[in-house]
Amino acid sequence: MQGKRQRDPGVYEVEWEVWVENRLGVHARPAAQIMHLASQFDATVILEKDGFQANARELLSLLALDSPQGTRLVIRASGPEAREAAQALAHLFARKFGEP
């Protein structure tokens, strides 16, 4: 985790750097996992790659990032559960989305 700021009481902003490690990158199945997981938290979650941003709750937005293996992404989350959302997504990336 790179940074955590509190805007209002109980509302956080978090930035977390992750790397795409699974062989096929962020294709439809990992993107669906990201979308499903992000939807479970009271937080706005954005993934950023080279200045381009994708809403983590929008499948096509995630796929449009074109994130093959080796891609560096930044997770930006804000809201009451921002920290938890970013941690959960970072863990998903670290587990390679359950792929070899």
Q: Would you please indicate which residues are annotated as catalytic (active-site) residues? A: 27
Structure tokens at 28: 């439809």
Contact indicator for 57, 38 with CB cutoff of 8 Å: yes
What distance in Å separates the CA atoms of residue 24 and residue 5, rounded to the nearest whole number?
34
CB atoms within 10 A of CB 89: 23
